[in-house]
Amino acid sequence: MEVLQLVLFLHGVSMLVAVIVIAYIQDYNGWGWGLGVPSIFAFVFGYPLYKNMDP
């Protein structure tokens, strides 16, 4: 039970930090940066997890 509580707590904290950081970037650098930074981050860290399959 303690591990589940820790996971849920860290999940909530990470969502809160992400929303705050994205809002800060959008306020001070514009929407282009606010939408570009998370998409580049998702591509860089998500691409190795994607499995290329033959057609």
The whole-model pTM stands at: 0.63
Where b means 16+ CB within 10 Å and e means fewer, 10-39 reads eeeeeeeeeeeeeeebeeeeeeeebeeeee
Per-residue pLDDT of the chain (55 residues; tens, 9 = 90+): 799 999 999 999 999 998 998 889 889 999 889 889 889 988 998 888 877 766 6
* Residue extents of the structural domains in the chain: 19-46
